[in-house]
Amino acid sequence: MHKKGNLEPSPKEIYKQVSESIAKEKIIILLTGNSLHSVLEVGRYAREKGLRLVGIDFLIPGVKDSLKSLKRQGQKNFGVFSITTKKEARIAINAGAMFIFSSHSDKGIIRRCRKEKVYHSAGSLTPTEVFNAYNLGADSVSLFPCGRMGGLSWFIFLKNIFPKTKLIPTDIISPF
C-alpha cells in the first residue's frame, strides 16, 4: 500500500512484484565483465529483446553508483549477484537492488533481505545446502554451478527431493 501522498511503491509491493516477475519470466540474466559500461549496454540490449530481469555483478567497480542511477531512471526488476556478506547485501539494497543472488547460503544475507523485503536466491549445490538455504528463509535456491554438476538431470534430482522448494538453475554462459 502506498503511503499517503507518495506514489512510490512500498518495499512489500516491490518484493511482491519482483517475486511474481521471477516466477513468470523464468530467465534472469546475470551480467559480469571488466567494464561496467559494457555490462550496462548488454543489459539494455537484453531488456530491449524482452529479457526483463537483469542482475549485475556486485564485484564490478562502480556498480553501486550504477544501481542508484538505474533506480532514478525508473528501471524495475534489476539486482545484483556475487554478494558474499550481509554488509554487501545492505549496500546493494541501499543502492536500489531489487533482488540479490549469492553463490552461497549465508544466514546474515538471508535475514537482511527478509528484513528489507528484498528477494534473495541463496546459492547451493548439494541436497544439504539446498535444505539449509530454504530452511533459513531464502526466497529461492540458486543451484550454482548447475551445469557443471549434471545440468538438467541434477536439477530434476533435487526438485524431486525438494518439490516445494523454488530452485533456480544457475550457471555461467560465455560467448568465448
Q: pLDDT tens digit string along 151-173?
A: 899 999 999 999 999 999 988 76
pLDDT value of position 176: 45
Q: Give the whole-angstrom CA distance, residue 93 versus residue 148.
A: 30
For residues 109-126, average pLDDT: 96
pLDDT at 63 over 60: yes
Q: Give the whole-angstrom CA distance, residue 153 versus residue 134.
A: 21
For residues 113-119, average pLDDT: 96
**Mean pLDDT lowest for which of 6-20, 108-122, 123-137, 152-166?**
6-20
How many Å is the maximal CA-CA distance in the chain?
Answer: 52
Name the residue ranges covered by the structural domains of the chain. 11-169
**Mean pLDDT lowest for which of 18-22, 76-80, 122-126?**
76-80
pLDDT value of position 6: 64
The arrangement of secondary structure in 11-169, i.e. its CATH architecture, is Alpha-Beta Barrel (3.20)
Q: Do residues 32 and 39 make contact, with C-beta atoms less than 8 angstroms apart? A: yes
Q: Give the whole-angstrom CA distance, residue 143 versus residue 168.
A: 6
pLDDT value of position 131: 97
pLDDT at 175 over 90: no
Instruction: List Cα–Cα distances, 8 to 69, 71, 118, 159, 164, in angstroms.
Output: 16, 12, 16, 37, 33
Query: Is 111 exposed, middle or buried, given 0-12, 13-18 or 19+ CB atoms closer than 10 A?
Result: middle
The number of beta carbons lying within 10 Å of the beta carbon of residue 98 is 25
Mean pLDDT is highest, among 34-43, 94-103, 118-127, for: 118-127
